[in-house]
Structure 1
């Protein structure tokens, strides 16, 4: 019996922030294209984009110490911080465009202004933070940064963290007021609501079972309609795999050479959540510390004010957990079934090279609540166990691949894998992830639609004025963009309100 195909121009797999972003960009750039989305869950933004499944930090390198490092000569390398900051500014510009053109409304429902702070303890760390501040505050992207090692000043900035703290302990913090808390799940749903209202088809409870390339270069996508048990076949000239941790399995099914020798290692996150309103009201910032020696970058501890379901919350973490699932709603067989003949050596090498990570994960998994409370007390000295509960956040699959550093290198970041012919692309990895969604999806467009991308450049610049330019090298443009995005996204600060 012959297969019946439904043809479409573009298929997006997964209804998270990445597919929402790519779909929104394509709707502006190629409004006549037919786009279909397949999502295995009941609604958009429920896996990695869900408000409880990520830290909600608008990652702009304002407070994350792992985006800066100290070189052997003692100077500070801030190249990664500059890159991440500029990428987040690209996201804010596109969100501002969507708000200003009335494609999404009420930005405070997905983004809230919130100070971003770095916090350290001990003489050596204080010296590092001071040096970092001196380097970064001279740069246009970070010139609003403040530094203090004065207990009196810190009592004003972080009263909850200074209460009952030993006065002889050297501590310091940096602070930038124009940080943000972002509900990526809410933003995802807003974008999909607009797209669905403008004839983009989103199919929920539809799971992709297989992907094969046809002889003419197009793709056959086998889809399971979960509600009626029917198997559907769809054909498309371009497929984007944005299924979070599930992307690796689907990428492997494509059989493209670029999918070979890539593995994934799942790490789940746990956060402590405060249930005492009096404690919650004493803190108003995202405060990032330093990761412990031997701990991976994704384990940087932070005490976060969050805005969830119109309510102010306070979370601390992350603590690592382990599950072989690649998605929170995935299968216990995900890890083992991701091991193939082409990535077996790569995966094995990663296991040997990352014994310290394995040890760290084991220690985290068997940690008691009181051990977690002791880590929390590094931030809140008088934290009471009865005020805090535990919530399981999302699954993140760290990419493992062969690099110049050798076989089985564990990658901490976000990356796009695409076929040589540009007909299929997949997003793999974790943080900074959602914060850089617009930059990453523009990268997909440039790599997979190179001819159209050149034609679309003027329109892209209308949406993203800094497109193709370094904000670090154009301070006047930077100031204009920071002011305009603050106004559009309702993030007005005194610096801009009075200018």
Structure 2
């Protein structure tokens, strides 16, 4: 065991997209700060950020029906969609800045243009989708969205989905050509290659075992070298916990009051991957459907064209599964050991409230491949079982906490940031839209944790994010300028629609 303690300015726990984004932002704002990264696995972007562990959708609320709700008066509330779209625009601007500054290269290796579509069946759902389209298309953020319930047009848009479909079926879709497929694994690795070139000390196969706060407000971390078994001690003025599902345990070990009544519930994902090149070649979009009544938001089915390792793929899902692991490479005891005297009543309250979720997960786990194929055939009527394989995706830990609106033990579907009162520690928890909004979320961390520097840093932030501090929805000219600039810089021009 090493008794030597090394001091640094910033420690990032976990080598995923969030730590990569925060580290890159801080290196642009204060290049002289020393940053260390600790990652349990042998490379960056191997857990939730990995391209096989998420849907690869650039979540801009163009197609995700769970971001828009029909109100009791029949109107459509798009406030959440607006919020997520604006947050995605921040990420696009940041990535564009990195490419322009030659800090990362070859953006086509992590982002491509693909239409984002919503598709529904049944008269009631068609009526809902048309109202949603009419509301959204009047907003500058969703300019260019198209709607159709015409079979000929739908055959043109989604030939694979329309093939062998009953002629009398009510069906409709919306299409936004500005949608994207994002390989967050590739982007994460690019950002860590850049950070390594800026002298960020990245330690793979190093596990943070414990942490405690010093009297001066700094943090001391006990870190185990998984190769040698030796234990090191590292201290920093600021610590970010971006360890995916593993963040909850470390947040609890920190002992900060803000993390004491928070629990987590793990949900695993399963996708079906097409192995037939002829079928793959017939679909060129990300098509999201509507979750069935009673199903949780994370269950929205979608048929996605993906580009992984520069190869076109076709995936359908997700199907939910249950594992007590908080990480794909985690321990079966993760869930049990996350229950503490501080959160036990919150967890029990959630268990009582979420019986429908428990029932849903049990049903999903028990599905046979043929039953999953039947769900796929709601999208592709003629799908053949031999053309599809099951792929296990990543683990997501849904946050459970007490809220004013939902009461004790409320299950949260989204991304949560927990910060200490003095701003010396921040932890990221939760799931979608997650990676798509990484730049926005990490800027919020910077604002909360470094308020004393914000006036000094603002000009540089505006250089990286031209819309910083402004609403794009309320500034259509700026929105158009940003769309034009980011599309050119990231290679998302009309030629991308040729799917070369």
The TM-score with structure 1 as length reference comes to: 0.98
Partner residue, 1:28: 28
Aligned 1:440-459 pairs, distance under 5 A = 440-459=441-460
Aligned 1:289-368 pairs, distance under 5 A = 289-368=289-368
Query: In 1, Cα distance between the equivalents of 2:169 and 2:186?
Result: 41
Gaps of 5+ in 2: none
Is the Cα–Cα contact under 8 Å of residues 214 and 220 in structure 1 kept in the other structure? yes
Shift of 1:228: 1.1
Describe the superposition over 1:254-306 as per-residue Cα deviations: whole angstroms up to 9, x where unpaired. 00000111000000000000000000000000000000111110110000000
Partner residue, 1:79: 79
Partner residue, 1:387: 387
Query: In 2, Cα distance between the equivalents of 1:495 and 1:317?
Result: 25
Shift of 1:494: 7.5
Query: In 2, Cα distance between the equivalents of 1:302 and 1:109?
Result: 23
Partner residue, 2:419: 418
Is the Cα–Cα contact under 8 Å of residues 16 and 242 in structure 2 kept in the other structure? yes
Alpha-carbon distance change, 140 to 2 in structure 1, aligned in 2, over 3 angstroms: closer
User: Secondary structure at 2:19's aligned position in 1?
Assistant: helix
Alpha-carbon distance change, 177 to 45 in structure 1, aligned in 2, over 3 angstroms: same
Partner residue, 1:439: 440
Is the Cα–Cα contact under 8 Å of residues 178 and 493 in structure 1 kept in the other structure? no
Shift of 1:454: 2.0
Describe the superposition over 1:47-70 as per-residue Cα deviations: whole angstroms up to 9, x where unpaired. 000000000000000000000001
Shift of 1:227: 1.2
Query: In 1, Cα distance between the equivalents of 2:201 and 2:97?
Result: 23
User: Secondary structure at 1:153's aligned position in 2?
Assistant: helix
Partner residue, 1:465: 466
Shift of 1:182: 0.3
Describe the superposition over 1:221-250 as per-residue Cα deviations: whole angstroms up to 9, x where unpaired. 000011111100001000000000000000
Is the Cα–Cα contact under 8 Å of residues 2 and 232 in structure 2 kept in the other structure? no
Shift of 1:3: 3.5
Partner residue, 1:239: 239
Is the Cα–Cα contact under 8 Å of residues 263 and 343 in structure 1 kept in the other structure? yes
Aligned 1:269-308 pairs, distance under 5 A = 269-308=269-308
Describe the superposition over 1:58-90 as per-residue Cα deviations: whole angstroms up to 9, x where unpaired. 000000000000111111100000000000000
Shift of 1:495: 12
Describe the superposition over 1:83-118 as per-residue Cα deviations: whole angstroms up to 9, x where unpaired. 000000000000000000000000000001000000
Query: In 1, Cα distance between the equivalents of 2:96 and 2:279?
Result: 34
Is the Cα–Cα contact under 8 Å of residues 288 and 301 in structure 1 kept in the other structure? yes
**Is residue 2:224 matched to residue 1:224?**
yes
Describe the superposition over 1:161-182 as per-residue Cα deviations: whole angstroms up to 9, x where unpaired. 0000001010000000110000
Is the Cα–Cα contact under 8 Å of residues 40 and 205 in structure 2 kept in the other structure? yes
Is the Cα–Cα contact under 8 Å of residues 252 and 259 in structure 1 kept in the other structure? yes
User: Secondary structure at 2:320's aligned position in 1?
Assistant: strand
Is the Cα–Cα contact under 8 Å of residues 148 and 174 in structure 1 kept in the other structure? yes
Aligned 1:109-120 pairs, distance under 5 A = 109-120=109-120
The TM-score with structure 2 as length reference comes to: 0.98
Query: In 1, Cα distance between the equivalents of 2:3 and 2:212?
Result: 14
Is the Cα–Cα contact under 8 Å of residues 486 and 493 in structure 1 kept in the other structure? no
Partner residue, 2:176: 176
Aligned 1:369-388 pairs, distance under 5 A = 369-388=369-388
Alpha-carbon distance change, 210 to 305 in structure 1, aligned in 2, over 3 angstroms: same
Is the Cα–Cα contact under 8 Å of residues 2 and 231 in structure 2 kept in the other structure? no
Query: In 1, Cα distance between the equivalents of 2:435 and 2:388?
Result: 27
Query: In 1, Cα distance between the equivalents of 2:293 and 2:261?
Result: 29
Is the Cα–Cα contact under 8 Å of residues 112 and 496 in structure 2 kept in the other structure? no
Aligned 1:251-262 pairs, distance under 5 A = 251-262=251-262
Shift of 1:450: 0.3
Query: In 2, Cα distance between the equivalents of 1:360 and 1:169?
Result: 27
Query: In 2, Cα distance between the equivalents of 1:355 and 1:239?
Result: 36
Query: In 2, Cα distance between the equivalents of 1:282 and 1:4?
Result: 59
Would you identify which runs of 4 or more consecutive aligned residues in structure 1 move more than 6 Å?
A: none
Describe the superposition over 1:23-43 as per-residue Cα deviations: whole angstroms up to 9, x where unpaired. 000000000000000000000
Query: In 1, Cα distance between the equivalents of 2:416 and 2:99?
Result: 28
Give the aligned CA root-mean-square deviation in angstroms.
1.2
User: Secondary structure at 1:359's aligned position in 2?
Assistant: helix
